[in-house]
Amino acid sequence: MSTEQTTGTSPFDTSGIEVGADGIRRYTGLPRNVVRVLAAQAEQHGDRTAIVELGGGRLTYAELWQRAMRVAGGLRDAGVTTGDRVAVQLPNGVDWVLAFWGAQLAGAVVVPMNTRLAPAEADFILADCGAAAVVRPGEALPDGEPGEVPDPQHTDVAALFYTSGTTGRPKGAMTTHENFLSNIESVVRCRELSRDPEIRHATLISVPLFHVTGCNSQFLTQIALGGTSVLMPKFDATAFLAAIPEHGITLLTSVPTIYELVLRHPDLATTDVSTVRTLSYGGAPIAPELVHRLRTAFPNARLGNGFGLSETSALATFLPHEHAETHADAVGFPTPVDEVRLDRPDPVTGVGELLVRGPNVVAGYWGDPARTAETFVDGWLHTGDLATITDGIVRIVDRAKDMINRGGENVYSVEVENALAEHPDVLEVAVVGVPDPVMGEKVGAVVLPKPGTDAGELVAGLAAFARERLADFKRPQFVRVIDGPLPRNAGGKVLKAPLREAEGWVAVPR
């Protein structure tokens, strides 16, 4: 393991940090839990707008607290007790926010669910977490008399964010109150957000709240600042642009794909975006040319590139505005409390697996001690990402886990391969990323059919087969049927590089 670390080279505010007996750097003076964060805003700024749902309702901080307390009462009436898991299967909106805080105020562990999962995938997560209650679309939110407000400790688990793994089985990242609070503080420092209570913040959340970027870095950070979260139930470039002047949006955070669609939209030229002071991106590689266009389109904004995982509760590194264009290929410096190392770096290239240690690293995987032990070693998170560190700046150069990044959605090839391999006419299958100018990558499947199988019928059959087993963003959009074995190395491992580079992809009917 390399001893190279980037603490000490941080361009961010590093005041008020202490190192614990476990060697982890922590912010001092954080609140006890996120419940206290919301309570403080409801008490001090109750009349401020906390939530706006585009095309829907809105809530002040006082209304958010009062209604969430009733959701908590309804959950308790339904038998939910401290530490029980409450799954939220809702799209972005007021109801999602009330369900999230209702679970917190009931002393429960919230489980944000990807709304695009196939039924079998959702059923696995509900069974794995042992959900005591599920909040589903089309059903009334739980409602009951408010009860006692819980006061969890830093180390108590507050949420489970399920992330797909290379084995094909999702893992519930156990996110503690300290994880949430540490990430909030890192976001404020890295993005240089003002703490002045007289300055009103407003963020437009265009990514799903069931992901840590939308929930942890945007939604919860705005709660801590007494700001407004404007929620998009679904992304639409026209609505995105219209929301900026209408709601005085000051902060944008999204994936490069969404920014590309926004910059291509004809309404951009006539939209007043002068209120946007902070614009950050992440979740997928970004082209230097796109960074330049963003800087031109949003001249009043500080830009920045954020990198993180569900396992880091969102932000682990950040590339600030001063380096945005000159180091567009980098994900930046670690946050003030994060340390990074490279495991077994190549002596020539310097490339090694990126390891992260900090108070934002989750407590492990729910009910999975084996994979917890594999991923979290001696306090260090093994990210599975291959990186270099030069002058304190981290660059991700490859994905060790064969992950496909489809417009910011992580798709693990093994998970898709496992599903497609069950098709009766498939002998072998390998899944790779197919380059796409807008999405970055799309999912492609290279298939060796069983003898006598018609290639055209197989492509159509795989499409229907995948619809029953995989979320839409995981389903192959391209298929290439081959007539010989998949290429393998001497150890029997499939060689994916030549598969990515080959031609002959056939678009799959959606």
pLDDT in tens, 256-273: 889 989 999 999 999 999
Residues 340 and 211 sit within 8 Å (Cβ to Cβ): no
Looking at the structure of the chain, the number of domains it has is: 2
* 388 and 345 within one domain: yes
pLDDT of residue 270: 98
Domain's final residue, options 338, 373, 398 = 398
Q: What is the pLDDT of residues 309-355, one digit of tens each?
A: 999 999 999 999 999 989 988 999 999 999 999 999 989 889 899 99
For strand 339-343 and strand 352-357, is the pairing parallel, antiparallel, or unpaired? antiparallel
What three-state secondary structure class fits 267?
Answer: helix
In the 8-state DSSP scheme, what is residue 81? -
pLDDT of residue 91: 97
* 316 and 269 within one domain: yes
* 331 and 462 within one domain: no
Q: What parts of the chain have a pLDDT lower than 50?
A: 1-8, 166-167, 490-491
* 210 and 183 within one domain: yes
Q: From CA 297, how far away is CA 320, in angstroms rounded?
A: 18
Domain's final residue, options 350, 378, 398 = 398
Supply the mean pLDDT for the chain. 92
Q: From CA 312, how far away is CA 294, in angstroms rounded?
A: 27
pLDDT of residue 5: 47
* 447 and 372 within one domain: no
pLDDT of residue 277: 98
* 422 and 339 within one domain: no
Residues 284 and 308 sit within 8 Å (Cβ to Cβ): no
The closest alpha carbon to 92, from 130, 53, 125, 123, belongs to: 53
pLDDT of residue 2: 45
Structural domain of 335: 17-398
* 500 and 392 within one domain: no
Q: What is the pLDDT of residues 123-174, one digit of tens each?
A: 999 999 999 999 999 999 999 999 999 999 999 999 999 986 544 588 999 9
pLDDT of residue 49: 98
CATH number at residue 28: 3.40.50.12780
Residue 29: CA count within 13 A, CB half-sphere: 4
Quick check: is 440 in a domain? yes
Q: Report in angstroms the alpha-carbon separations of 333 from 158, 175, 186, 197, 305.
A: 27, 23, 12, 28, 10
pLDDT of residue 66: 98
Quick check: is 374 in a domain? yes
pLDDT of residue 165: 53
Quick check: is 287 in a domain? yes
